[in-house]
Chains A and B, each alone.
Chain A
Amino acid sequence: MDGKGTTRRCLASGSRLKELLNLVKPPPSACKEAEDCPHGEVCPLSKVSAGTSVQVKRLSAPPETSKRLREMGFTEDQTIRLVSQQASVICQVCNARLGISKELAEQIWVQPMGRRVA
């Protein structure tokens, strides 16, 4: 159902990866001005192309919204897959499909896993 093997990664708590990624994690502002997101940098979910698997890094939405996002599975270091990137965004968080408005996608900072499926 998910992109190759991502289901498994999605389910890992991420603690092992966390340390590794923390070492290479660029400052969150790295992508703010950039038009597109080079690999390995943190950028808003709205800038990622469809089919990419990404890891959630930081939420900059208001606290209430961030809380709900986390409860719906957008926790830090969770791996999600972007299914469609059009007017709004659809992503696969574990096995649930969530539709998210563009404004909100702009406030979800992610790091592409560097693997494009679509």
Chain B
Amino acid sequence: MSEIKAGSVPYVALTGNPNSGKTTVFNALTGLRARVGNYAGVTVERKEGRLIWEKGDSAVSPTRDTPVIILDLPGTYSLSPQSIDEQVSRDILFHRVAEVPAPSLVVIVLDGSNLQRNLYYATQVIELGYPTLVALNMMDVARNNGHEINPEELSQALGVPVVPLVANEGQGMPELRRRIRDMATRGTKRTLPRTFCELPIPFGVEIEAVSALLRKNTPQRQTSADAEALLLLSDEKVLSKNTAHYGADLEKVVLQARQRLEAAAVEWRSVAIEARYARVAAIDQAVTTWVDPNRESFSDKADRIVTHKWWGSLIFVAIMFLMFEGIFWFAGYPMDWINAGVAWLADKVSSSMPPGDLNSLLTSGVIKGVGAVVVFLPQICLLFLFIALLEDSGYMARAAFLMDRLMSRVGLHGKSFIPMLSSFACAIPGIMATRTIESPKDRLATILVAPLMSCSARLPVYTLLIGVCIPAINVLGIFGLQGLTMLSMYLLGIVGAMAMAWLFKATLLKGEPPMLILELPPYKRPVPKVILRHMWDRSRMFIKRAGTVILGINILLWFLATYPKSPEISAKFESDRSVAAATVFPALQGAAMDKALADLQAKFAQPQVVTNSAEAALLGMFGGMEKQKQGEMLRHSFAGRMGLLLEPLIKPLGFDWKIGIGIIGSFAAREVFVSTMSTVYNLGESDEVTKDLEDTLRDQKREDGSTLYTPLLGVTLMVFYVFALQCVSTVAVVRRETNSWKWPIFQWAYMLVLAWGLAFVTFQGGKLLGLQ
């Protein structure tokens, strides 16, 4: 979508309670072509899109071609925000976000099956005084529950137009689009000032006074001063969090007013909420007819089992098991195809151009490096698909509810579960999902431990190392040792995250025991189009990374591993080669010698040709020399020097300098380890470009001749990867999310200490047990 200049087109804010079907309405308004970005300073998703025009919409509208931008505000329960999400909604509606113009129309999405609670927020928004339109959604669910709502009467009671909808079936959408277009482009008059709170007289007097001061301070107003005054008086946090915005004089007036109210025995904290609830209850009763109030919905029946202490837990474990099993099983096939495709491409490129640096860069650096990462795309897509399914069906909230008991043991609450589950896919959406957690301390604790969950970027590392180091045998007859190792790594991350969360909550982030209030939305059948869209949006990030960051790092690493070249090593190798050749062909020299050697190579390409053993030995020696030469070149290169520099630090963990190169690369992104190993070892064995990476690793020896990649080394390396924060993007997101460098640096450091310490314990402990 093209960039649209703010202010030049009408902006429509779409708002409503969570689970009111707001996203469905948004998708139907914008035709799934939303632009997703972030608000400056916070990672709250900013979703906006252009209002579409469909054939079913009103015949000819003069405003048909006028662009209208719909902005989807985060779901909100009230204008007194409890989370960052809600704060963004509030700030936009109060026109406090500089980058977003004041809305020319506000569309409130109401869940008809839960009218009373939804009206609470709706009346708050209507009081702000914007031109307002109500989209009365989920009429079908309400009807199924035995509620018949009269839209005309609701419109009269609220004083704004009401459009009834069944958004997920598209019912009422053409009418809604037409109304939005007309109201937004024709400059509908502001809604008349009105209030839905009948307050005690002393409260009314105070509102009058504060409102007058607000009007004086900010004469250019977008919102009703009375509504703002009511919020200022009844919500403690508004003032304390926005002192800069409001100024000291206003603060003083409000505090004094509250004192007077207390003296008059008016509960300023709750009186407005109760008055509003009384009013919306009356409206609800007036506009709704109950046909059959006793019907038990499907969600009621399902929840009796799904949220049951034992059955629910069993279902939860089964779903998690199926999810991870399914991911590995289904992804296996496309991964094989991608692997084969990458090998084929590397072979083609390598054979179609002369050997040299460019050839090496393209095959080792670009194709095999990026291919080693792209091969994990199927697993990542599936993981995101499952998460989208869980979210869209309504199960995710149940899972969070079930996990609350477990999470509260470590001082977090159920809402922290969703970020942690998302972190299995990627810590970035996980950290972004923490924005629904109300308590800042709980939120920070969740952010700090979320990257300990094994994300999809670790998957390539685990898969490679398990394939290389862990024998494919069965234990207890049925469990594959390789699969068990993979499971253990995931469990290790979970246990680590829980332990650290407990530690943080007990020390650094000590606070009130968290309290869970979580809405359990009705179950619904997921819409395939939406689910696939979700999956694609998130997987695209991974592909983008492979094409940009990882490609860049690979080229850089290839460069570091290739340069500087050492003429001495080449010269030494050349002379060694000549000496060896002279012993087999003593009579030949110069060009004749070269020809003889080329013939020899060609002869060995055809196994049926019988040659003498001296010639075979010569070729064997050449191969060994080549390997040695490449090894020495790598050691001489920048990357080799970095690895060698790091070696003393990682030697206690059993890692050599080549693994050190991999670890350095991984601090940009973990999956780079695989491509680095591919680059490092392929450069070391240039005559075997297409050799499988796993086989190459298996052949690696330590200097004393013992196998390098033993099971113990593999496990130690994986333990390191479980705990180390090797992801530049995560660090950047945490920095943005916590608004300081303090927390990301702290997080990076504590995870590194943990990684090194536990890897050390693993390796040395394993050696003591005689596993090496």
Contacts and interface: CB of A to CB of B under 8 A. Distances in A.
Interface of A: 1-2, 4-5, 7-8, 10-15, 61-73, 75-76, 78, 83-84, 86-88, 90, 93-101, 103-104
A72 B308 CA distance: 23
B519 interface: yes
B517 A104 contact: yes
Interface of B: 77-78, 80, 82, 113-117, 120, 145-147, 235-237, 269-270, 273-274, 277-278, 281-282, 284-285, 288, 290, 293-297, 299-300, 303-304, 307-309, 397, 400-401, 404-405, 408, 413-414, 438, 512-521
B282 A13 contact: yes
B145 A70 contact: no
A86 B517 CA distance: 15
Contacts of A98: 517-520
Given A86-B309, A101-B413, A7 B518 contact: no
Contacts of A73: 116-117, 120, 277
Contacts of B397: 99
A95 B518 contact: no
Given A98-B518, A101-B514, 16 more contacts: A1-B145, A1-B293, A1-B294, A1-B300, A63-B236, A63-B269, A65-B515, A67-B273, A68-B517, A71-B273, A75-B277, A88-B405, A90-B307, A95-B113, A101-B515, A104-B517
A97 B408 contact: no
Given A67-B80, A75-B277, A99 B414 contact: yes
Q: Which of B274, B295, B413 has the most CB of A within 10 A?
A: B274
Contact of B80 (A69, A71, A86): A71
Contacts of A75: 270, 273-274, 277
A86 B296 CA distance: 21
Given A70-B274, A73-B116, A75-B274, A99 B77 contact: no
User: Closest 4 interchain pairs by CB?
Assistant: A101-B516, A99-B401, A104-B515, A87-B405
Contact of A11 (B82, B284, B300, B514): B284
Contact of B77 (A64, A72, A100): A72
Nearest to A95: B114
Given A73-B117, A101-B414, A103-B513, A66 B269 contact: yes
B290 A13 contact: no
Given A67-B235, A72-B117, A95 B145 contact: yes
A5 B514 CA distance: 34
B635 to A, nearest CB: 58
Contacts of B78: 68, 71
Nearest to A75: B277
Contacts of A93: 117
Nearest to A68: B82
A70 B273 contact: yes
A11 B281 contact: yes
A49 to B, nearest CB: 15
28 contacts: A1-B294, A1-B295, A1-B296, A2-B293, A2-B294, A4-B293, A4-B294, A12-B285, A13-B278, A64-B237, A70-B273, A70-B274, A72-B117, A72-B519, A75-B270, A76-B270, A76-B274, A78-B277, A88-B516, A94-B114, A95-B147, A97-B299, A97-B303, A99-B400, A100-B517, A101-B414, A101-B514, A101-B516
Contacts of B413: 101
A75 B275 CA distance: 10
A94 B303 contact: no
B297 A1 contact: yes
Contacts of B147: 95
A97 B147 CA distance: 17
B404 A101 contact: yes
A52 to B, nearest CB: 16
Given A4-B294, A70-B270, A78-B277, A94 B77 contact: no
A62 B320 CA distance: 36
Contact of A90 (B273, B290, B438, B520): B520
Given A97-B520, A103-B515, A15 B278 contact: yes
Contacts of B277: 13, 70, 73, 75, 78
A102 to B, nearest CB: 8
Q: Which of A88, A99, A100 has the most CB of B within 10 A?
A: A99
A101 B284 CA distance: 29
A10 B303 CA distance: 21
Contacts of B300: 1, 83
A103 B438 CA distance: 16
Contacts of A67: 80, 235, 269-270, 273
B758 to A, nearest CB: 32
A13 B273 contact: no
B223 to A, nearest CB: 19
Contacts of A5: 293-294
Contacts of A12: 281, 285
Q: Which of A61, A70, A93 has the most CB of B within 10 A?
A: A70
B519 A87 contact: no
Contacts of B145: 1, 95
Nearest to B282: A13
